[in-house]
A = this chain, B = another copy of it.
Amino acid sequence: MSGIIRIGVIGYGYWGPNIVRNFNAIDTAQVMMVADGAASALKRVKKEHPQITATNDPNDILCAADIDAVAIVTPVSTHFELAKKALQNGKHVFVEKPFTASVAQAEELIELAEKRHLKIMVDHTFIFTSTVRKIKQLIDEDVLGNIYYYDSIRVNLGLFQHDVNVIWDLAPHDFSIMDFLISEKPVAVQACGKAHVNCKENIAFVTAHFSSNVVGHFNVNWLSPVKVRLTMLGGEKKMLVWNDAVADEKLRVYDKGIKSKSPDGEYDLRVSYRSGDMWAPKIEQTEALKLEADYFTRCILDDETPINDGHSGLRIVRMLEACDQSLKNQGGLVYL
């Protein structure tokens, strides 16, 4: 294989154009072909990228001899069949989140990829953003201290998905960010939600339990009048607020908390508080997807395992599946 990964992209709806643009913008990749069932999508491909072949048949990509890797940018219900065929045909796979529609599918794809010595990368874009990277650094350098909670609000109006509920649509972001940031893994999840418009839940509340006293919680909602992207991360030493809906100063670190324990190792009956400065670290302006596209090609070229590989995708799908089970079970705890 030369130093350029030849990419076929399946799906040119909302996210597909970003995938094409970013793979094309890096030196180690070239988008050869785009497949989409909609004529209007193919027309857009031709106008925006006259040099790329446009087809309505994904098999043109899956079977092409001159394609090294396939980017699957389609609804989750189609991921498994497309990825399986790509792997069977010796192609690496870059696949949208969530990885698959079930744990069983994810496990089968992982096994297949390992057997064929091919890479799977699940597009958990957020873990390539400068903000999440900066949070990771703050945690790794023990600036926050022991983590107490990860509490996220991710709500907006729409877009209702056909094939999945709001948890499968929005919670993969939080599950993958939390998976990236916190080394400890949840032991159980709970979810409750309501379906106001059709039979899929459009509002839901997810709680992730850990064996320590860390707790994760997400509000996800397709019927919110305003777009909120607010994550709070509480630590013993410092706490942070990440507001992803603003242009600047998205990340704020607060020197606030409970005062240190008394000499005998116990907190006083009367809790006292520590309130210091707030600090908004400079965040580099980079396009996460470009970084991720570059990382994907380098993992292939250097034969390295991506952090967001099939196993990472599987962990998230396992939690999503457990959420569905909890939803059916009146919000009861589901162990992982």
A residues at B contact (CB < 8 Å): 50-51, 148-149, 151, 153, 155, 157-160, 162, 190, 192-198, 203, 205, 207, 209, 213-215, 217, 219, 221, 223-227, 232, 234, 236, 239-241, 245, 247-249, 252, 254-258, 267, 269-271, 273, 275-282, 330-333
**A192:B207 contact, CB within 8 angstroms:** yes
Measured CB to CB, the closest approach of chain B to A236, in angstroms, equals 8
**A198:B271 contact, CB within 8 angstroms:** yes
Residues of B within 8 A of A192 (CB): 190, 207, 209, 215
7 of the cross-chain contacts (CB-CB < 8 Å) are A50-B50, A148-B203, A192-B207, A197-B271, A223-B258, A277-B279, A278-B280
Taken together, the copies of this chain in the complex come to 4
Among B205, B214, B254, the residue within 8 A (CB) of A225 is: B254
**B279:A194 contact, CB within 8 angstroms:** no
Given contacts A197-B271, A275-B282, A282-B275, contact A232 B224 (CB under 8 A): yes
Measured CB to CB, the closest approach of chain B to A156, in angstroms, equals 10
User: How many angstroms from the CA of A107 to the CA of B82 in the assembled complex?
Assistant: 63
Q: Which residue of B lies closest to A188 (CB)?
A: B330
Given contacts A198-B271, A247-B245, A271-B197, contact A223 B239 (CB under 8 A): yes
**A162:B269 contact, CB within 8 angstroms:** yes
A190, A234, A277 — most chain B CB neighbours (10 Å): A234
User: How many angstroms from the CA of A158 to the CA of B267 in the assembled complex?
Assistant: 14
User: How many angstroms from the CA of A239 to the CA of B26 in the assembled complex?
Assistant: 37
Residues of B within 8 A of A197 (CB): 258, 267, 271
Measured CB to CB, the closest approach of chain B to A131, in angstroms, equals 14
Further contacts, 9 of them, CB under 8 A, given A148-B203, A157-B273, A278-B279 = A157-B275, A158-B271, A203-B234, A207-B331, A225-B241, A226-B254, A277-B279, A279-B280, A331-B331
8 nearest A-B residue pairs (beta carbon): A225-B254, A225-B239, A278-B280, A160-B271, A225-B256, A194-B215, A330-B333, A148-B196
Residues of B within 8 A of A330 (CB): 332-333
Given contacts A207-B331, A245-B247, A282-B276, contact A151 B221 (CB under 8 A): yes
